[in-house]
Amino acid sequence: MKNQKLCGILPALLTPFCESGVNRAALCALTNRLADAGVHGLYVGGSSGEMILMTEDERKDLLEGVMESVGGRLTVIAHVGTTSTAGSLALARHAEKCGADAVSSVTPLYYKYGFREVKHYYERLAAETSLPVIIYNIPALTGTTLTTEQLSEILSIPNVGGMKFTSSDFFQLERIRAAFPDKVFYNGSDEMLLSGLAAGADGGIGSTYNVQPKRILAVYNAYRANDMKTALAQQAKANELIAAVLKFGVLPSCKMLLKLRGLDVGQCREPFLPLDDEAVEALKKLEAE
């Protein structure tokens, strides 16, 4: 049986920073704002959360802050991938202790690992926790492109509950979806949410959901209600914002958009740089949703 609690629209939560680390007050404000907008859950500490720019202690602090402010209102998926298996396992144990609903991880980072190593990594993660493990497949960033057969092999590991699929190979998504009707699949490219849903995704996880949750929910709800005209129109509206943030840098732009809409979550960490004036002026012209 599919885990319904994991389905739906989950912002890939941006991490609010202050001088000393995670800005707990801004984190609470952001999670409240998203909960009020009606999202189903949060994906914490992933690429959009700048996980690669945080220490493991900060990542634990972030998840603890999220659990505290969410207080059971939303599903929480904790991204626990690090550059080492030991580090990922430690974060997975921590996530389970904190009460997260699932853990997730990108494929092992940096070195060009072989499939044997990638599969073993997920076996270790699945054995370490009783929570469902969600594979995060994002070949454009990890450089690891897995075939349909390889992804199916990983999805066959007991305890692997599904996959976040950030790729435009919707043929692959449809084939895997059909082969694993009881697992949960998420579309990962916000600009193609509707295409992912059409290929069988149970929901989506994305960075721009932080700044346009209602618009994204409108795409999802219209699709589920079989109202394709509205779904297409809402996706087209969402894509106006997504095209602008892709032009200036997704994460710095999303943080700036939150600031322009009254919620200061700080800057992205370096090597990201603050946006220049031209970018800020262009973002100001976007319609607030």
Residues of this chain that bind ligand MN9 (CB under 6 A): 12, 47-48, 138, 141, 166, 188-191, 206-208, 242, 246, 250
Out of 43, 122, 136, 209, the active site residue is 136
Residue 77, strand partner residues:
43, 102
d(C-alpha 95, C-alpha 146), whole Å: 27
Q: Which residues of 73-109 are buried (b: 16+ CB within 10 A; e: fewer)?
A: ebbbbbbbbbeebeebbbbbebbbebebbbbbbbbbb
Active site (annotated) includes residue 136: yes
Of residues 95 and 216, the one with the C-beta less far from ligand MN9: 216
d(C-alpha 254, C-alpha 76), whole Å: 21
Of residues 24 and 188, the one with the C-beta less far from ligand MN9: 188
Active site (annotated) includes residue 209: no
As measured in angstroms, the least distance from the Cβ of 74 to ligand MN9 is 18
As measured in angstroms, the least distance from the Cβ of 186 to ligand MN9 is 9
Out of 60, 121, 164, 186, the active site residue is 164
> Sheet harboring 203-206: ordered strands across?
8-11, 203-206, 184-187, 160-165, 133-137, 102-106, 75-79, 41-44
Q: 10 Å Cβ neighbour count for 55?
A: 9
Of residues 69 and 104, the one with the C-beta less far from ligand MN9: 104
**Tokens 């949410």 -> residue:** 193
As measured in angstroms, the least distance from the Cβ of 225 to ligand MN9 is 23
As measured in angstroms, the least distance from the Cβ of 155 to ligand MN9 is 18
Of residues 133 and 192, the one with the C-beta less far from ligand MN9: 192
Which sequence positions are flagged as catalytic?
A: 136, 164
